[in-house]
Amino acid sequence: MSRRPYQWWEFDQDLDALVARPGTDLASLNEQLLKVTDPAEPAAYAEKDIRELSRRWTQRRDFVSVRLAELFHCVQLVHDDDYVLAAVGHLGGRSDTGGVRKFMLRHDDYLREHVFWRFFEVEGGGEISLANVDKYSDENHTWTDTILALVAEGTLERSRVLRSCLEALNRDFSAYRAGWFSRLHDALAPDAAEARNNQGELLRLLASNNSATTALAVRQAQLLHRAGTLDSEGFIRHAAPALAAPKTSALKVLAILRSMAGNAAGIAGTGLFAAAQAGMDHPHHDVQRAATALLADFGRDDLLRAGSPGLSPAVSIEFAARLPRAEFSGSPEAPASPAGVTGAVVPRQPPWPHPVPVPDWAESEMQEHLAMLLENPGDPVAFELALSRLASRDACELLRPLARRAAKLGGNNENVVAELILAGADPDFRFRPPTRARRSGQDQESKVSWPEDRSIVPVLYKRVREVIEILQERAEHRVLLATPTATCGWIEPAALVARFLANDAAGRDPLRFDTLAALLRLAPENRPAALEQLQKADVRPAGTEAGNAMAYALGGPPAAINDAAWWVAAARAHAPFAIDGHLLEAGLAVAGQGHPATLCLRWKSETSTFKDDGKLRSYTWWKVKADAGPQGRASAEFPSIIPSAADAFQVASALEIRQSAMAFPPSTLSLAAASISWLNRAMQTPDPAVEDAVLAALEVHAGRWEGPTAELLALGLAAKRAEVRIRASELFALAIPERMGAEPFAAALAHCARACVLSRWAASLADAAGISGSAATATREVLAHLLPRLERAQHGVGRLLGVYLEECIRAHVPPESAALRAWLKGFSGTSIATRNAKGLLAL
């Protein structure tokens, strides 16, 4: 009987026992490697294999075989960054129980002296970096544990490891990956003598943009200062950037500066007080107080006056005797409410957003516009114009020059414009909507009868199919009905009727989904004149039901219902927020059909526990679920229905998000339901997705704002990316109270407050308050209604109170609401929330 083959995975598995056996050396490992079924395999390593190992973590010790192939099998590899990262990821496995990493570094001098120290120079990324490998390795089997053990036994030089950590931190690696070097440095716990040897590297770290790195430098500076070995002039020279760090580090820097100022007679002229002045611009009040007190105590009124504009009103009041008199008044355009709150009054016709007419494309520029849309397919208005132009004329010659570029861009399975162009240039091209399977590179269309039904806005792809039928000469050219006449999605009633009658006169039957989309976009103004024009016309029998539904949408009489989709669209366009008896009689009673659509967002938390550096930690995240109409996916037949549950693996593009906003212009609820999970994701991760498209859609949306709309904006105000928060702040300044009153907006914020990061709300609202006087008033009034609805102990409440205190001082408006004052009186202790609450009550 032949011996069972010895596999590569078995070699990896046996490594733990081999390296633990006394007398084992690198040659012993090679002898075991040669037992693998194909002994020629070690020589097969090439640069492409190293590149793969540098990008993907197999959680095995694959690099051991690489190194043995170099040592014993004449394999020659370039020792570049990819080689270093391959060693980082694959010199040890996820559970390095036998200590393979330690064995290799003890026995392979070249690996230790020429490859290992480059670990501190090559940042890595994706799956392979010291931070990522350690994060997902088992406890006590990490690179950190390996290095600490080798330092303790003397294999690695302790001083060189400490210096290499600091050099790595000065390379501006990302915060996630830089954190590993900070933690290793802290684990080594250098004493004052060791810190003194690396003082130059440490002081440069004070200017780091990474708060954890700055915190390490400040801690080491404290250690040196207590030992009396801190380079005072060097510290002062580097101190100002550190005063922009988070509160704890900034306060420690000011404490060192105060100690220097009091203990060294000749140090005042070295720029110490000029460095301390930088703390007056810090966003946290405690840092401002400490910096201002330092300058005041040492009589530097000149620097106090120069730095006073950066102080918050609350801190300025505390030091009013030493500062120039300042006025903190609201803008003349924003008269203050005597009670600090206003009623929830929404103007009937808000001045914003202004409907902007859709510009037409000149014939000579059409190809250029299509080329631009091909590169950036997220513009919903340009996409609508493209559909309209392609459906109304023979566009084959126009599209053919764009086909090669479209073929390249269509490879990402997301560019629907590319597929539209390819379909128009090739009559045999088969259009396939971008499903999740296609976007992930696993086309499973055969399992889905209508892939567009998995989209958040399936009617979009039904309409695209109708245009492709025209492009591929299976239907007649025509004027599309659903092309908006305003950028928010509205269609002028007269324009819609004119298009319908032109197609009818030419003998062209209505396209089902084009008609459906057009009815839902019918603008509310000037309907009687358009109805009169339609009723006077002699419509062909094939267009009778479409004409009757259009008349009903314009305010005409009901008629027999055969195509339910058209009549539901007509009824929702006619009276978006009313019950429709005609539909109810026909059995169309679902919310979004005979009844207006509704949406309630339900929040649920989940908690996971894990071990990090030997400590048990927990992480809580929040999920949001839409409670609206029937269970299931969005419907192409009835876009006005908001489903209660969508595909758990649903994805969306910027075009789909913005088309969902244009699908039913009277209401923002469809947009909120389609995109709330994306804004929730944006609050938890800095990786950009479609949140920018969501806020862009909301900026131009003419529909009614409701509670879920406000929650959508609330998540934007708490997003992890600063760019999203800035855009959300600007939108808040435009929308409150023009689109939604302060009280209902505050109620919506309170509904999702447990899921949001309140400190980010505070920063965003402070930014919004600085945009204009009316925005400052809106901020103050929203907070007056919001704060009593929050739990006093929730993290970030103190920051919100700080913003409210600032705005009340600026406007000279005390909190006079009885509910708010009672809530403020419930604070106790010495927290920042309590101090701000007392400050408000004292106004």
Q: What's the pLDDT band for 347 if we cut at 50, 70, 90?
A: very low
Strand partners, 627: 600
Tokens encoding 586: 């026909």
* Per-residue confidence (pLDDT) for residue 435, from 0 to 100: 55
Q: Give the pair of three-digit tokens for residue 687.
A: 């990786």
pLDDT value, residue 691: 93
pLDDT for position 338:
34
DSSP H/E element including 626: strand 615-627
pLDDT band at 348; cut points 50, 70, 90: very low
d(CA 284, CA 126): 34
Residue 364 has pLDDT above 70, yes or no: yes
Dihedral of CA atoms 114, 117, 122, 127 in degrees, nearest 10, equals: 100
Band (183; pLDDT cuts 50, 70, 90):
very high
Residue whose pair of structure tokens reads 């070690």 in the numeric block? 42
The domain tally of the chain equals 3
* C-beta atoms surrounding 5 within 10 Å: 10
* Over residues 72-88, mean pLDDT: 90
336 band by pLDDT with thresholds 50, 70 and 90:
very low
Of 179-188, 339-348, 776-785, the poorest mean pLDDT is in 339-348
Terminal-to-terminal C-alpha distance of the chain? 94
Residue 794, pLDDT score: 93
Quote the pLDDT of residue 429.
86
pTM: 0.73
Could you tell me which residues are beta bridge partners of residue 486?
A: 357
Contacts with 745 (C-beta within 8 Å, 6 or more apart), sequence order: 710, 736, 737, 782
Number of neighbours of residue 514 by Cβ within 10 angstroms: 24
Among 639, 355, 645, CA closest to 512:
639
Is 380 in the same domain as 513?
A: yes
pLDDT tens digits, 506-531: 999 999 999 999 999 999 999 999 99
The more confidently predicted of residues 313 and 248 is 248
- The answer to whether residues 552 and 657 belong to one domain is no
Q: Residue 438: what are its φ and ψ, rounded to 5°?
A: -70, -40
Buried b (16+ CB within 10 A) or exposed e, 319-357: beebbeeeebebeeebebbeebbbebeeeeebeebebee
Whether residue 665 lies inside any domain: the answer is: yes
In degrees, to the nearest 5, what angle opens at C-alpha 622 toward C-alphas 616 and 628?
160
- For the segment 152-177, the average pLDDT, to the nearest whole number, is 93
Dump pLDDT digits (tens) for 785-839: 999 999 999 999 999 999 999 999 988 899 989 999 999 999 999 998 999 999 9
Q: Please indicate, yes or no, if residue 324 is contained in any of the structural domains.
A: no
* Structure confidence at residue 38 (pLDDT): 59
User: Could you tell me the pLDDT band of residue 44, with boundaries at 50, 70 and 90?
Assistant: low
Q: Does a structural domain hold residue 233? A: no
What is the pLDDT of the chain when averaged over all its residues? 87
Residues 563 and 656 in one domain: no
Q: How much is the pLDDT for 483?
A: 96
624 forms bridges with which residues in the sheet? 603
Confidence band of 82 (pLDDT split at 50, 70, 90): very high
Same domain, 562 and 655: no
Residue reference for tokens 């350690």: 134
Q: Indicate whether 47 pLDDT > 90.
A: no
Residues 383-420: tens digit of each pLDDT: 999 999 999 988 888 888 998 888 887 655 568 888 88
Which of the given ranges, 279-293, 470-484, 636-650, has the highest pLDDT on average?
Answer: 470-484
- What is the pLDDT, as a whole number, of residue 615? 73
Determine the Cα–Cα distance for residues 338 and 281; give it in Å rounded to an integer.
31
pLDDT tier for residue 682 given thresholds of 50, 70 and 90: very high
Are 560 and 682 members of one domain? no
pLDDT at 205 over 80: yes
Cβ-contact 270, 233 below 8 angstroms: yes
Residue 2 pLDDT more than 50? no
Sign of the Cα pseudo-torsion (562, 568, 573, 577, in order): positive
The pLDDT of residue 345 is above 80: no
Of 105, 130, 156, which marks where a domain is finished? 156
Residues of the chain above pLDDT 70, percent = 90
Q: 140, 156, 172: which is the final residue of a domain?
A: 156
Element (H, E) at 623: strand 615-627
Residue 436, pLDDT above cutoff 50: no
**Helix (H), strand (E), coil (C) string for 571-622:** HHHHCCCCCCHHHHHCCCCCECCCECCCCEEEEEEEEEEEEECCEEEEEEEE
Interval 265-294: pLDDT, tens = 555 556 899 899 999 988 888 899 999 999
Q: What is the pLDDT of residue 328?
A: 44
Pick from 240, 162, 254: nearest CA to 199: 162
Cα dist from 379 to 74, 457, 671, 724, whole Å? 57, 15, 16, 19
CA dihedral (754, 760, 763, 764) positive or negative: negative
Any idea which of 49-53, 161-165, 492-496, 718-722 has the lowest mean pLDDT?
49-53
C-alpha to C-alpha distance for 381 and 56, rounded to whole angstroms: 41
What confidence tier does 665 reach under pLDDT thresholds 50, 70, 90? very high
3-state secondary structure of 491: strand
| DSSP state at residue 337 | P
Say if residue 350's pLDDT is above 80: no
Residues contacting 727, CB < 8 A, separation 6+: 692, 695, 716
Residue-wise pLDDT for 112-148, tens only, equals 999 999 999 999 888 899 999 998 888 888 999 999 9
- Who's near 32: CB < 8 A, 6+ residues apart? 11, 14, 18
**pLDDT confidence band for 779 (50 / 70 / 90):** very high
Report pLDDT digits (tens) over 709-755: 999 999 999 999 999 999 999 999 999 999 999 999 999 999 999 99
- Name the more confident of 551 and 364: 551
Percent of the chain with pLDDT over 90: 59
Q: Tell which residue, 160, 237, 171, 170, has the closest CA to residue 201.
A: 170
d(CA 225, CA 251): 15
Q: Is the dihedral of CA 226, 232, 234, 240 positive or negative?
A: positive
Distances (CA, A) of 262 to 18, 220, 258, 259, 374: 62, 21, 6, 5, 66
Lowest-pLDDT choice from 95-99, 122-126, 441-445:
441-445
**pLDDT value at 602 more than 60:** yes
Asked if the structure places residue 524 within a domain, the reply is yes
How far apart, in whole angstroms, are the C-alpha atoms of residue 598 and residue 604? 20
Higher pLDDT, 279 or 93: 279
* Residue 186 pLDDT exceeds 70: yes
The domain of 485 spans 363-567
d(CA 94, CA 133): 8
* Structural domain contains residue 577: no
Could you tell me if residue 197 is inside a domain?
A: no
Q: Is the pLDDT of residue 206 over 90?
A: yes
Residues 530 and 676 in one domain: no
- Is the pLDDT score of 493 beyond 90? yes
Residue 563 belongs to some domain of the structure: yes
Q: Is residue 188 part of a domain?
A: no
Q: Which of 143-147, 205-209, 683-687, 709-713 has the lowest mean pLDDT?
A: 683-687
722 close to 765: Cβ distance less than 8 angstroms: no
Three-state DSSP at 671 gives helix
Q: Same domain, yes or no, for 656 and 549?
A: no
Instruction: Indicate the residue among 138, 156, 174 that finishes a domain.
Output: 156
Residues 747 and 793 sit within 8 Å (Cβ to Cβ): no
Choose among 44, 50, 49, 17: nearest CA to 32: 17
Average pLDDT for 479-497 = 95
Cα 678 to Cα 135: distance, rounded to the nearest angstrom: 26
